[in-house]
Amino acid sequence: MRHDHLITSKQLSRADIETVLDRAAEIDADPSAVADRHANRLLGLLFFEPSTRTKMSFETAMKRLGGDVVDMGSVESSSVKKGETLADTVRVIEGYADALVLRHPKQGAATMASEFVDVPLLNAGDGAGHHPTQTLLDLYTIRENAGLDDLTIGIMGDLKYGRTVHSLAYALTNFDARQHFVSPESLQLPREVVYDLHQAEGAGIREHESLEEVLPSLDVLYVTRIQRERFPDEQEYQKVAGEYQIDVETLEAASDDLTIMHPLPRVDEIAPAIDETEYAAYFEQAHNGVPVRMALLDLFLQEGGDGDE
Ligand code: NCD
């Protein structure tokens, strides 16, 4: 893998993805082999938006590699409150850390920030833009449960504002995957994303308003939360809130081998009764965040910072 930063999944080739997933599998099989690998290295955490899984799994990953983290803390308690620009904040924190992880409410923030730093910067979500590290753990989970070849996947929910969806959709164009996008019309994928996906060689994509017509054909159903915080108007959110939920009854039409995924947090999209079924893979998916982020950090922290081994 030869990248200075990880900003979107568009930059990842199939070979890059396989490098990360293979390394994650190796680490998962024997985490003790890398327990001191990055001793004395520091990862800077800059989260300008709430996060539980992403932040904690990056922190766990760095500590399990023998390193440690320095955390900007909440926006409320940082100099951002005094009006410091993102460019200044990242330039200061790169002096403290060997790599940076950034989450920010503005789309494009990671690209902009990366232009000001020399250490690797990993985008942990930029507004409704991208979330490539989530995509890698999603792909890892798909590979473990359904395989990435000859895959039929349904991606349902908030396709407009869901950054995990955008990143996953681009990454899947590297594989032999048919992608079915299921959402209300108002939350369809942004047209530029649809355009890009159609341009990708061999990518099979279709859009639907109802899950019913595609459910029986799916290997994987990737459910997402309606991104309330990104709606310009609360009334618009109320119109679609509560749509596109699944329960045990919905799944009567599904294949026995269906794998259900969700980047979490869920609100009410997946009935808790599904958690106890063989379909549910979302907690396993969240756990996969640690080996996958360990693999990524390991690759990016290699000497020279270009992740090349
Ligand atoms: C997602 C995110 O922040 O984009 N969460 C995550 O990183 N696992 C999904 C979401 O907030 O709905």
Is 129 a pocket residue for ligand 1 (Cβ < 6 Å)? Answer: no
What integer pLDDT is reported at residue 187 of this predicted model? 96
**Residue 203's pLDDT band (cuts 50, 70, 90):** low
pTM to 2 decimal places? 0.95
Question: What does the mean pLDDT of the chain come to?
Answer: 94
Say which of 10, 53, 208, 266 is annotated catalytic.
53
In this predicted structure, the answer to whether residue 117 has a pLDDT above a threshold of 90 is yes
pLDDT digits (tens, 9 = 90+) for 210-256: 999 999 999 999 999 999 999 999 999 999 998 899 999 999 999 99
Shortest-distance Cα residue to atom 7 of ligand 1:
54
Q: CA-CA distance, 79 to 48, in Å (whole number)?
A: 12
| Percentage with pLDDT > 90 across the chain | 90
pLDDT digits (tens, 9 = 90+) for 121-139: 999 999 999 999 999 999 9
What is the four-CA torsion angle of 11, 13, 15, 16, rounded to 10 degrees?
Answer: 20
Is 53 a pocket residue for ligand 1 (Cβ < 6 Å)? Answer: yes
DSSP SS3 for 211: coil
Where do we find the tokens 């908030």? 158
Is 163 a pocket residue for ligand 1 (Cβ < 6 Å)? Answer: yes
pLDDT digits (tens, 9 = 90+) for 256-306: 999 999 999 999 999 999 999 999 999 999 999 999 999 999 999 985 444
What integer pLDDT is reported at residue 309 of this predicted model? 41
Pocket test for ligand 1, best of 49, 101, 104, 131 (most atoms within 8 A of CB): 131
Q: CA-CA distance, 105 to 20, in Å (whole number)?
A: 26
> Is 131 tagged catalytic?
yes
Name the nearest CA neighbour of 196 among 125, 130, 108, 106: 130
Is 123 a pocket residue for ligand 1 (Cβ < 6 Å)? Answer: no
Quick check: 134 and 54 in contact, CB under 8 A?
A: yes
> Is 103 tagged catalytic?
yes
What integer pLDDT is reported at residue 219 of this predicted model? 98
pLDDT digits (tens, 9 = 90+) for 32-46: 999 999 999 999 999
pLDDT digits (tens, 9 = 90+) for 273-284: 999 999 999 999
CA 47 – ligand 1 centroid, Å: 13
In this predicted structure, the answer to whether residue 204 has a pLDDT above a threshold of 90 is no
